[in-house]
């Protein structure tokens, strides 16, 4: 089963994503950016179809994850969309500079999560046409 990384320090967000994709995807969760980086390092990247990444997390934030992915050229292999409660357009604009797919603002409905994940994981099949 393909996997999606959900990097967010909110268990509520992780549980919403798990519920939305139960039986479709294996959800790998990270409570902070370092855990997300560790998941990227320790998993077969062909099994990971996308990542939902919070920018504001304890210890290591989402921008550190984006930097790691940029350094190792991982955006083509693991497309990323941001999930954030942050209304700071400067941070959102900065995230788009990394080549993220989209931004989902918290709070959100389960249908919105499904739409953004589908958009994120399907970006490679769209760009390879």
Higher pLDDT residue, 3 or 86? Answer: 3
Question: Residue 126 pLDDT more than 80?
Answer: no
Edge-to-edge strands, sheet with 3-7: 26-30, 3-7, 48-54, 80-84, 103-105
User: In terms of Cα–Cα distance, which of 56, 75, 44 is closest to 7?
Assistant: 56
Query: What's the whole-number mean pLDDT along residues 5-19?
Result: 93
Give dist(CA 43, CA 129) in Å, integer: 27
**Banded pLDDT at 44 (limits 50, 70, 90):** confident
What is the percent of the chain with per-residue pLDDT over 70, rounded to a whole number? 95
User: In terms of Cα–Cα distance, which of 70, 12, 44, 46 is closest to 29?
Assistant: 12
Question: Residue 128 pLDDT more than 50?
Answer: no
**Domain 3-127, what fold?**
Rossmann fold (3.40.50)
Question: Residue 68 pLDDT more than 90?
Answer: yes
Count CB-CB contacts under 10 A for residue 86: 17
């Amino acid at each position: 089963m393909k996997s999606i990384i959900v990097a967010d320090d909110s268990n509520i967000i992780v549980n919403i994503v798990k519920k939305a994709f139960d039986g479709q995807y294996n959800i790998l969760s990270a409570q902070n950016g370092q855990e997300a980086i560790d998941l990227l390092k320790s998993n077969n990247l062909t099994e990971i179809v996308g990542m939902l990444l919070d920018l504001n997390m304890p210890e290591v934030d989402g921008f550190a994850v984006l930097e790691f992915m940029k350094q190792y050229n991982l955006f083509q292999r693991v497309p990323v969309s941001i999930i954030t409660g942050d209304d700071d357009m400067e941070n959102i604009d900065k995230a788009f500079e990394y080549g993220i797919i989209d931004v989902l603002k918290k709070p959100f409905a389960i249908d919105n999560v499904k739409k953004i994940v589908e958009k994120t994981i399907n970006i490679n099949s769209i760009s390879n046409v």
